[in-house]
Structure 1
Amino acid sequence: MKKFYFIVLLLLIGTSTTFSQTTAPADSMVYVCPPCNGSCDQLQFDKPGVCPHCGMALVKMSLSDFKKLLAAKPITIAFYLQDGVEVLDFAGPMEVFITAGFNVITVSKTYKPIRSKTVLFITPDYTIADAPKSDILVVFGGPTQPTIDDPEVMAWLKAQISSDKYVMSVCTGAFILGKTGILDNLTATTFHTAIGDLAKAYPKTKVLANTRFVDNGTVITTAGISAGIDGALHLVEKLRGRPYAKSVAETIEYDKWVPDNGLIVKTN
C-alpha cells in the first residue's frame, strides 16, 4: 500500500511539473495554450504538453511575445450584415476573430432578424443607431445593392471609416467599400465572377483576379467565401504576429492557410 501511494505521489509531482507556471527570464521560451478564447489563454507552462483546462496541445512562444499578447489592447470588430449575406463570408472570419480573442459585434440597419443567403437567420447585436465604437469594420457579400442604395446605411458606414482604422471586405462586400470611396486609387479584389463588374463600377480602383486578398495597409479586400478566412488570419497576423495567427489557424483546424498568400501592397 505504501508503494502504491509513493507511485501516485510521483505521478502527481510529474504532472505538476509539466504544467507549472514558469517564472523564466523574459527572453526564454514558454509553452502556452493556443488561443481558445478561454481563461487558459493567459496561462504559461515550462514544458510541452497538453493544456489541462481545454485539452489542446501547448505551443512554444517567447515569454516576451506572450507578455505582449497579454498586454495588447482589446479589439472590437463590427460586422455589418445585410439580408442575403453569404453565411461563410461572415461565419468564417467570425470564427477566426473570436478564436483570436477579439470582440465581434454584429450590426444591421434594424433589429429585424437578417435572413442569410440560405436558411439561417441572424439577430444583430446592434443597429446603426446604437452600435458602439469599433476598431475594425468588416462588410460582406450577398445582395449588396440594397445596402449601396440606402443613404442612411452608407452614411453610417462612411462615418466608421478613418485613416487609422482597419476596414475589410469579403467577397462582393468590396462593392460596398467601393461606394464609400475608400477604394479609390487602391488595389482590390472580390468574388471571381464579379471582378469585371467591380472594375466597371469603380474605375478608380485597380481590380485583380486570382488573388486571395489584397492588403493596402489599413484596407483589406478578399476574394469570395473561404478567402475571407485567409484575410481574417492575415489581419490577426498584422495585429498579433504570425505565431499567434498560426496557432489560431491550428485551433480552428484550417490547414489551408498559407501566410502572405495574397497581395500586400502596403504594410503599416
Structure 2
Amino acid sequence: MNVGIYIYDNAEVLDFSGPFEVFSTASRLTEPTDFFNVFLIGETGQSVLARGGYSVNPAYGFLDAPGIDLLIIVGGVHLQEMQKKNVLDWIALQAQSANLVASVCTGAFLLAAAGVLKHHHVTTHWEDITDLRASYPNLTVQESRRWVDAGDIITSGGISAGIDMSLHLVSKLHSTELAEKTARQMEFDWTKNA
C-alpha cells in the first residue's frame, strides 16, 4: 500500500515525520514485511526546507510519484501553497484516485482549497479552528478532537495528533493489533479515541 505524504517549504516537521515513522515502523512489524510503502512527495522533488530550516529530500516530485493509496497532506505555513494552482490541482487529482485522504494540522486548509473537503466533519490545530470555520463554512469543524474519521477522509489536529491519526489508519487499513505493536515499538502512548 503506497502512503504518499505531501511536504512543502515551511511544513511542520512532526506533521510529516510522525506519520512517516508510524507507517515505516508498522511496515517493519508486518508479516510479510513492507505492507506499507511510505514516501515523501514535494512539488518538484527537490529539497524542501521545513519549519526551522529542517532540510528534507522528498523521494518524488509530482511528475514521477507512483500511484498513491493513502494521501496525507501536512500542515505548516500553508498560505503560499494555497495560492499555487498546480499544487491544488495535484491534490485534487490524487484525492480522486487514492482510497483514503488524510490531513495533519492545517493540511485541512489545503484539502479544502483543492475542493476535496465539501461537507465533511473535520478538525485541525486548535489555533486554526476559527479560521477554518470562517474560510469554509460548509465544513463542520470539530473542536477537542485528535482526529475525525469521515470515512474516506480523515483529518487530525495539530502536530502530534498526526501520530494518533496514523496509528488509527494502521488499525483501519491492517489491524488494531499492528497499530498497538507499532505504538509500543515507538514507545508512544496512543490515544485510541479521537
Interval containing the TM-score (normalised by the shorter chain): over 0.9
The answer on whether the counterparts of 2:69 and 2:98 sit within 8 Å (CA) in structure 1 is no
2:23 is the alignment partner of 1:97: yes
Structure 1 unmatched runs, 5+? 1-74, 263-268
Provide closer, same or farther for how the CA distance between residues 78 and 145 of structure 1 changes in structure 2, counting only shifts above 3 A.
same
2:55 is the alignment partner of 1:121: yes
User: Take 2:191 and 2:42, find their aligned partners in 1: how far apart are those partners?
Assistant: 32
Report runs of 4+ in structure 1 exceeding 6 Å deviation: none
The answer on whether the counterparts of 2:75 and 2:107 sit within 8 Å (CA) in structure 1 is yes
Q: Equivalent residue for 1:238? A: 172
Structure 2 unmatched runs, 5+? 28-35
What TM-score, normalized by structure 2, do the two folds share?
Answer: 0.92
Q: Which protein shows a greater Rg? A: 1
1:162 deviates by 2.5
2:104 to 154, 167, 170: 170
SS for the counterpart of 2:53 is: coil
Q: How does 1:89-238 map to 2 (within 5 A)?
A: 89-101=15-27, 102-162=36-96, 165-238=99-172
| CA-atom RMSD in angstroms | 1.2
What TM-score, normalized by structure 1, do the two folds share?
Answer: 0.67
SS for the counterpart of 1:249 is: helix
The answer on whether the counterparts of 1:190 and 1:224 sit within 8 Å (CA) in structure 2 is yes
1:258 to 182, 191, 194: 191
User: Take 1:99 and 1:164, find their aligned partners in 2: how far apart are those partners?
Assistant: 22
Q: Equivalent residue for 2:5? A: 79
1:179 deviates by 1.0
Residue 11 of structure 2 aligns with an amino acid whose one-letter code is V
User: Take 1:249 and 1:226, find their aligned partners in 2: how far apart are those partners?
Assistant: 13
Aligned-pair identity (%) = 40
Residue 253 of structure 1 aligns with an amino acid whose one-letter code is E
User: Take 2:89 and 2:116, find their aligned partners in 1: how far apart are those partners?
Assistant: 13
1:232 deviates by 0.1
1:133 deviates by 0.6
Q: How does 1:13-32 map to 2 (within 5 A)?
A: none
Aligned residue pair count: 186
User: Take 1:138 and 1:195, find their aligned partners in 2: how far apart are those partners?
Assistant: 19
Q: Deviations over 1:214-260 (max 9, x none)?
A: 000110000001000000000000011111110110011102x132x
The answer on whether the counterparts of 2:11 and 2:50 sit within 8 Å (CA) in structure 1 is yes
SS for the counterpart of 1:141 is: coil
1:164 deviates by 6.1
